[in-house]
Structures are given as structure tokens and as C-alpha cells.
Amino acid sequence: MMDEVLEYLQPVPGGLYIDGTLGGGGHTAAILERSAPDGKVLGIDTDQLALDRVGARLVEFVESGRLILAHGNFSDLAQIVKQTGFGAGHPLQGVLLDLGFSSDQMDTPERGFSFGADGPLDMRLDQSLPLTAADIVNGASEQELADIFWRYGDESRSRQLARRIVHMRTQSEFTHTAQLAALMAAGVPRKPGAIHPATRAFQALRIAVNHELESLEKVMPQIVDILEGDKKPLQGEIENQSATETSRAGRMVIISFHSLEDRIVKEFTRREAKDCICPPRLPVCMCGHKARLHILTNKPVVPGELEIEQNPRARSAKLRAAEIAINS
């Protein structure tokens, strides 16, 4: 959803932006182009291999100082910004999160994300994480597995799959994606065009391994804090940037691919767009909460038919955007 990202993020020359999910670097490259000649991007990713690839691809921006790369989880956004000194003394214009994972990760069997080609049952975006998908599949109880498949994958066969796994692993541990996918597909008739029977359960395992929902909940308030800054106009101007641009309200753009992710983003932005979040039964406001956000997308923006045709993996994408409320 490149066009939609640029439409809502609105990069400007000299602007400062954070791409918290660098991935293949496509969005970062477009932001750098739109913010030329001196806009900067802090690119963050939990996957060191992704950082290495983007660093080689966009080496000219790295060498010029316009692209700063940082290894870490976006759930630690405030800490990473502080450690890198990104935008110190200047307001940031935008933060982007694309919560999908890149084709490089999906299409590399050794990472264990896909059952299209056999690979180790890993699924870690950050290879330093201690727990793999194999650890969960072989170590979690039947109830824990069923809960993971149901909560994170909306898998209607969650109990059945959990029961099968627990039974089969007494004979042999699960170590590879094809092995697990075969168990999940056994006895399930496939209709033309239907998703693979293992799709939802694999998605659920990936979310569990990488703590994706917890990371999203943790980062949302940090994004607002970072974009708000001290709310004071700059003393002077960033070089080659107008006063209007430097005082523009910061924007957040988030693309999700799962209903639970989208719900977290929707509920957070709606809450932060209200002046009062007290329970309806209270006759007067007791919370003192003030709106910090202005919602730009009342409904999620979804990819068009042409993009879905060219990239079927984009079919479940939902984009939501908001900007800092100037008077908050």
C-alpha cells in the first residue's frame, strides 16, 4: 500500500520519520525520496538480516546520514530513539509501522515462516529470541496450543489440531514446517482457491513466538509521546525546511494484517481522540483526559483490486492513520 502510506504520512522535504518495521526497505526508500534533499529516516527492525539487506541496497543514504539503521523491536521505540539521538531537538513528522513480514522472510525456508517449502520450525523474526515455534509445538500443553490457535489464528479446528499435535509428538518431536503442515492438512478437503489448512495455525504460532500483539500494545503510546515532543515550535528552521513544515502535526500510519492487530490500533486511536474516557455512568468527567490524536481514517483503508491482483499477500491489509491533535 505504497501510495496510501505516502498519502497519509505526507513526507515533506527535511522531515524526520521513523519506519519501525523496515522489512525490505520499500517504504523507507519512498519516504527518503519524498523528503529529499535532507529528510531523514530511522529504520528499525528485529531482523538483522533485513537490516543488512536494506543497508546494502540503500547504502548511499546510510553513508550520507539520511538513513539511520537500528536493530531492535519497535516495542522499545522510545529507548531506540534516545539511544540513536534521532531528531534530537527537532520534532518528528511521522512514524510508520507495517506489521506484515517481508517476502524475503516468507520466501526463505530456513526461517520457518512458510509451509510452501520445508524448513526448520523456527518463525523468529529476531534470531536472538530464546523460544522457537518448535519449542511451543513440542512443549506447550494441549490447552495452551488450542488457545494459541484460537486466539491468534481464529482457527475453528484449534482443539482438534492441538490434540493431534500432542498425540503425534509422543512418537516424534516436530522439527520442520512440512511435518507440521502435513498433520494440519490431513483429512481436510481442499476447495479451489481456498487457503491451505495450516495457514491460520502457522500465523498464530508466528504471532506467539514474536509476541507481536504485546509489542503493538506497548508501542502505541510511545508513538504519540514521540510525535508530540514538547509541542514547542523550533527556534529557527531546519535547513532547507519551511516554518510551516517544521510545525506540521506529526502523523502515525499503521498497516495491520490481522483482526486483533487492527482492533488494538482502532481502540487506541479512538480512545486517544477523546477528551474524556470515563465510564458512561459517571455524570461528570473525573479522568481529566484530553484528546491527543485526530483520526484521519474513520474506516480502515484497504488495498485496491489491482494491488491484490499483483500482490495477493496484501489482501488482508488494513491501514489506519492519525495525527497529533495540535490543541491537546
Question: What is d(CA 47, CA 62) in angstroms, rounded to the nearest whole number?
Answer: 18
Known binding positions for S-adenosyl-L-methionine: 25-27, 45, 74, 98, 105
Cβ pair 161, 188 in contact under 8 A: no
**Cell 497519509, residue located:** 8
Cβ pair 41, 68 in contact under 8 A: yes
DSSP string covering 13-51: TT-EEEES--TTSHHHHHHHHHTTTT-EEEEEES-HHHH
Which residues neighbour 47 within 8 Å (Cβ) at sequence distance 6 or greater? 105, 125, 126, 127
Question: What is d(CA 226, CA 217) in angstroms, rounded to the nearest whole number?
Answer: 15
Known binding positions: 25-27, 45, 74, 98, 105
